Structures are given as C-alpha cells and as structure tokens.
C-alpha cells in the first residue's frame, strides 16, 4: 500500500506541474518526500545546494552519533550528493525500525518510503535529523579542471567536513562520527580527527551496511540524487522526455546515447555532464571543435647562463642580420602582423 502511494507522489513531482499550489507553498523546507523535488528544482543547478533538516530537540541535549555517506560519485551525469544523519546514541532502535539497513539492498521505492517516514513519522523525526549537500556537476568539473587540480576526493572531504560543521553550528551534540569511504580509510580518518579532535571517529569501507546511522545518511543522499536528476531543468533549454538520460554510468546505453546526441560544437555538453570525466572527454573528441586552453605554467624557467654560441647566432646562413625584437614590445606581447 505505502509503496503505491509514494509512487504516485513521485509522478506529480516528475511532471512538475507549476500550477500545483501545494508544491509552491513552502519551498524552503523539506517535510516529506513530496517536497524534496520542488525544493531541489527551486535551486540553481549550476551551484551547490545545502539543506539541513530541523534539529530535533533531543539531539541538542543527548550525545549523538552521526553518519556520513555519499551518492553519485561515479556517474558522468548529474550531481554528487553528500548526506549526513544523526540521532542520540540511545535512539538506534528508531533507525532499525525505519528499516535503515544496507542501502544497496534497498530498492529505489523502499528508499523513498524510508525517506518519507523519516520526515513525517513522529517517532523518527523527533530524534533523527539529516542534511545533504548537492554538489553540482558544474562545480565538480570546474574544481577538477582548476590550474591547481582539486581531486574529487578533496571535493568530497570538504563537503563531508562542511556538513559536520554545519550540524555542530546548528547545535547537534555530536559524540561519535561514522563515515563510509571507498578510498583508504586511514588517511581520511586522520584528516577528520585533525579537524574534529573531540569526536570518536570511525571511517570504514561499507560502513553503510554496518552502521544504521550511515545507512540513514546514505538513503538521504541517494534519494536526493535521484530526485535531483528527475527534476533537472536544463538552462540550455534542452527538453528530454522524462529526463531519461540513464543512470549516468558510462556503461549504460541510455547514457551513452544521451552523450552522443547532445553535443554542442562549441560548448560541448549541457552542464548536467561532468566534463572532467574521461567518458565525457572521449565523447567530445572528434565530435566537437577542438579546444585548447592555456594550460598551467608547467614550463620551468630555463636558465643556464649565457650560451657560448649565442654570439654567432645573430645572422642567418646568407649573412642577413636577425634583429631581436625590441624588449618594450616583446614584454607587452606586441608584434608585427602581416597576415591575418
């Protein structure tokens, strides 16, 4: 029964009927699964968006555990979402009752149900709080393509630490932190401990299936990512029926087709695509105009003193004198142009 109801709600979100007053009522707050889509749609999708749920009163008094997980790290399309959730150490049972278990084992529908119950049922929302950061694909590309390259891992860690900090600022009494990681846990743990020395911090692979609080964070992140794709509106003016661009994984034929069919000769792709993924780079090669940026100054200054042969270099073979360009013009990047 529940499942069917949720599915219907999803439908209205996906259709995005603008005349639906209920969707517009309070777009600044996510109070149920239904308000998630409109909230995301009301934000600029080329920038990051952070959302914090209200902090349940008990989380300010009692020592809490906090879980961190991400969704959408691998796909070439759409945002990556970081999620945290927290509840008092003694309220673990509420998480289990909600069904927060290994989120990989849960279907999309089941995750939607849990997310909705987490926000609407009294026994849950009175002790569990959550927050997400939607990291825009535009931000992912521009971070990874900076002159001083910023890896996806750095972007991730910054986001995770930023969310924990926001929870602290909102008054959550954090005692323990659990983080799911794909990379080596030791380095990550060390970095987190340096920033938050007062917490008991556990970084582990597959923490998602071990700690219910991480599962809850994972569900928030995954549901948010799924909805972000569903309500994605292209500032480029593209309209894709049902936003059917596939999972975003390079192997997905729907995604592959989307990438080949929506190439702009000059600008490449709409900014739903992460340009910094090799899948995207390869799809553009030979299909769009070649584009060459002035790459970082990797050239080291060559200086090894004046070369002995320098004095013989002033003339060409036929004795013509090569005049060196006036330094004034050279330094200002000015030169004569005969052809244009």
Partner 1 sequence: MSITLDFNGKNLAKGKSLHLHYLPAKISGDGEANVETYFNNYTREAPDYGSGMLNNALRGYPLVGERMKVPEGYKGLVLQETEKPLSESADRQLRLTGVFDEFTYWNYDKVPSNGDPFRQAMLMADVAKALSEPISEQDLEAEIRRNLESKKENDS
CA distance 249 to 77: 8
Per CB under 8 A, 171 contacts partner 1: no
Q: Which of 109, 76, 11 is nearest to 272 (CA)?
A: 76
Per CB under 8 A, 147 contacts partner 1: yes
Per CB under 8 A, 301 contacts partner 1: no
Per CB under 8 A, 309 contacts partner 1: no
Per CB under 8 A, 294 contacts partner 1: yes
Using the contact rule CB under 8 A, the part of the chain among 113-121, 247-255, 260-268, 318-326 near partner 1 is 260-268
Q: Is 158 marked within a binding site?
A: no
Per CB under 8 A, 292 contacts partner 1: yes
CA distance 229 to 77: 9
CA distance 73 to 66: 21
Per CB under 8 A, 262 contacts partner 1: no
Closer Cβ to partner 1, 7 or 149, answer by number: 149
CB atoms within 10 A of CB 98: 21
Token code pair at residue 339: 């052809």
Using the contact rule CB under 8 A, the part of the chain among 182-190, 229-237, 242-250, 307-315 near partner 1 is 229-237
Q: Which of 109, 155, 106 is nearest to 135 (CA)?
A: 155
Token code pair at residue 249: 């994984």
Binding track, positions 45-74, relative to partner 1; x by CB under 8 A? -x----------------------------
CA distance 28 to 42: 9
For residues 98 and 110, the answer to whether their CB atoms sit within 8 Å is no
List the one residue from 26, 151, 289, 326 that touches partner 1 (CB under 8 A): 289
For residues 58 and 171, the answer to whether their CB atoms sit within 8 Å is no
Q: Which residues are annotated as a binding site for a divalent metal cation?
A: 69-70, 180
Q: Which residues sit at the interface with partner 1, rule CB under 8 A?
A: 46, 138, 141-147, 235-237, 264-268, 270-271, 274-276, 280, 284, 289-294, 331-334
């Amino acid at each position: 029964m529940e499942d069917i109801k949720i599915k219907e709600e999803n439908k209205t979100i996906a259709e995005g009927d603008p005349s639906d007053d209920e969707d517009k009522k309070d777009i600044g707050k996510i109070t149920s699964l239904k308000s998630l889509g409109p909230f995301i749609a009301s934000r600029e999708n080329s920038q990051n968006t952070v959302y914090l749920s209200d902090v349940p009163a008990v989380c300010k008094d009692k020592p809490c555990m906090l879980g961190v997980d991400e969704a959408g790290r691998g796909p070439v399309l759409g945002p990556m979402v970081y999620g945290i959730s927290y509840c008092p150490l003694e309220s673990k049972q509420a998480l289990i009752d909600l069904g927060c278990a290994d989120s990989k084992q849960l279907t999309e529908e089941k995750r939607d149900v849990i997310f909705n119950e987490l926000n609407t049922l009294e026994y849950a929302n009175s002790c569990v709080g959550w927050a997400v950061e939607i990291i825009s694909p535009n931000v992912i590309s521009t971070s990874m393509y900076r002159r001083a390259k910023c890896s996806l891992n750095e972007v991730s860690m910054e986001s995770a630490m930023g969310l924990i900090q926001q929870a602290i600022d909102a008054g959550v009494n954090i005692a323990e932190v659990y983080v799911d990681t794909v990379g080596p846990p030791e380095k990550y743990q060390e970095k987190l401990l340096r920033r938050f020395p007062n917490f008991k911090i556990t970084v582990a692979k597959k923490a998602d299936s071990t700690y219910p609080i991480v599962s809850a964070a994972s569900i928030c992140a995954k549901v948010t990512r799924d909805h972000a794709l569903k309500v994605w509106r292209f500032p480029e003016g593209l309209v894709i029926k049902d936003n059917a661009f596939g999972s975003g994984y390079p192997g997905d034929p729907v995604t592959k087709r989307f990438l080949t069919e929506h190439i702009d000769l000059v600008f490449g792709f709409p900014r739903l695509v992460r340009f910094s993924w090799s899948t995207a780079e390869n799809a553009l090669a030979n299909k769009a105009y070649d584009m060459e940026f002035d790459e970082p100054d990797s050239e080291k200054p060559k200086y090894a003193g004046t070369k002995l042969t320098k004095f013989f270099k002033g003339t060409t073979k036929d004795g013509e004198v090569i005049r060196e360009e006036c330094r004034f013009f050279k330094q200002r990047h000015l030169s004569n142009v005969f052809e244009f």
